[in-house]
Amino acid sequence: MLKENTWIELIEPLIKAATRIEAPEEASAAGVLRAHLEEFLERRRHADGREDLLRSLPVEEQELCIFRAVDLIEYLERKRFRITAHDLWAALREMGADKSSISVKGTTVRVWRVRTPDSQTEEFTSRTEDGPSF
């Protein structure tokens, strides 16, 4: 076993020479959450109106996605993404989300609103026999 002083003499020059490499955002917990949120919000395409919030779907209104917190939490649990409620709300606020209450079918529903993420606008090209198959 190395003595502490010997260990420090060995490791110190390595630490000084080390290059710090920043991880891309999508490798961070916040980046993974953002990807899951965008995937969750894609479900809005199946919604016809505010009443679909009661069916656990996010809804799009005036360039905003509206969703119930419980539905996002259940989605994240199915994806096995673990985050405390406090950290989730802090991250959502940092992403520009805010909370509100709206009326749906005569009942008040607490919701979160966030800017609608950019979506794919072009269709996929069809695969041909000559192209790669995955």
Q: Where are the domains of the chain?
A: 25-115
Beta strands in the chain (DSSP E): 59-61, 64-67, 98-104, 107-115
Residue 109 pLDDT exceeds 70: yes
Stretch 90-109: mean pLDDT, rounded?
93
**Which positions ≥6 away from 103 have C-beta within 8 Å?**
109
pLDDT value of position 116: 86
Q: What is the pLDDT of residues 50-69, one digit of tens each?
A: 999 999 999 999 889 999 99
pLDDT value of position 117: 78
Give the number of C-alpha atoms closer than 13 A to the C-alpha of residue 113, restricted to the C-beta side: 13
pLDDT band at 22 (very low <50, low <70, confident <90, very high): confident
Instruction: Please tell me the pTM assigned to this model.
Output: 0.70
